[in-house]
């Protein structure tokens, strides 16, 4: 796993506008390139001698090759947009990091079941979200199908049909409470977590697009 870190010092006069743009436009645009698994934005708690406010954004990439593709295919366009909007108002520097180890304190029991039918089954995504590969069990959800209309015209979602002939084959994973929160963050605001019952009889969480 590789971390692409962008540290930016932004002038206080445009800080609020810049933060909103980062959260609503720039970070989603970077993730939509398909090169990164997730992103984390943090405010650096230090008073800068040069003034301004400093933020760090860390993008996780599964491979070095994906980082290189981002530099070649996407970075110039996205950096140009930032310069056009906030020219002379910020200073940024970029750092690459390779994750060599990551450890977590786990609670004694992992009591949440999660049924997945999309990208959370991918090893690279699991490593990025949970920092481990999840042992899964194949299971089936009936009375549902994959909706024709995708979220953001790209991501799949469930559609309830109340027809037992409709089914979705996926995998069920066991997660800790902390890992379930990470899954919520990964799926984002466009999805909601619902309780479903699988053919195995297990009750599990699943994600579907928000209806409102």
pLDDT in tens, 40-71: 999 999 877 778 899 999 998 888 999 999 99
Assess contact for 173 and 116: CB atoms under 8 A. yes
Query: What is the pLDDT, as a whole number, of residue 1?
Result: 83
Residue 51: half-sphere exposure toward Cβ, Cα within 13 Å: 7
For 82-126, write each residue's pLDDT tens digit: 999 999 999 999 999 998 876 655 554 558 999 999 889 999 999
Query: What is the pLDDT, as a whole number, of residue 99?
Result: 86
Task: Map out the domains of the chain with their CATH numbers.
Answer: 2-98 (3.30.70.100), 112-209 (3.10.490.10)
Query: What is the pLDDT, as a whole number, of residue 110?
Result: 58
d(CA 53, CA 43): 8
d(CA 86, CA 79): 11
Alpha helices, H only, 74-211: 75-86, 123-130, 177-187
Query: What is the pLDDT, as a whole number, of residue 201?
Result: 86
Assess contact for 67 and 96: CB atoms under 8 A. yes
**DSSP single-letter state for residue 155:** B
Taking the model in full, what pTM does it have? 0.55
d(CA 78, CA 29): 8
For 191-209, write each residue's pLDDT tens digit: 999 999 998 888 999 999 9
């Amino acid at each position: 796993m590789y971390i692409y870190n962008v540290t930016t010092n932004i002038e206080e006069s445009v800080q609020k506008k810049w933060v909103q743009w980062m959260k609503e436009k720039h970070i989603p645009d970077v993730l939509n390139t398909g090169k990164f698994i997730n992103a984390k934005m943090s405010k650096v708690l230090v008073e800068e001698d040069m003034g301004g406010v400093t933020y760090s954004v860390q993008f996780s990439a599964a491979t070095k090759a994906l980082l290189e593709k981002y530099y070649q295919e996407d970075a110039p366009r996205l950096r140009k947009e930032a310069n056009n909007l906030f020219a002379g108002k910020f200073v940024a520097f970029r750092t690459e990091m390779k994750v060599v180890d990551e450890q977590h304190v786990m609670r004694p029991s992992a009591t949440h079941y999660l049924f997945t039918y999309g990208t959370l089954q991918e090893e690279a995504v699991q490593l990025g979200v949970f920092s481990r590969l999840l042992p899964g069990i194949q299971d089936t959800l009936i009375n549902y199908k994959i909706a024709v209309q995708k979220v953001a015209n790209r991501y799949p979602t469930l559609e309830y049909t109340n027809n037992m002939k409709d089914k979705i084959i996926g995998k069920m994973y066991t997660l800790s409470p902390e890992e379930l929160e990470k899954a919520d963050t990964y799926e984002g605001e466009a999805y909601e977590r619902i309780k479903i019952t699988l053919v195995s009889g297990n009750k599990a969480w699943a994600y579907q697009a928000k209806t409102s």
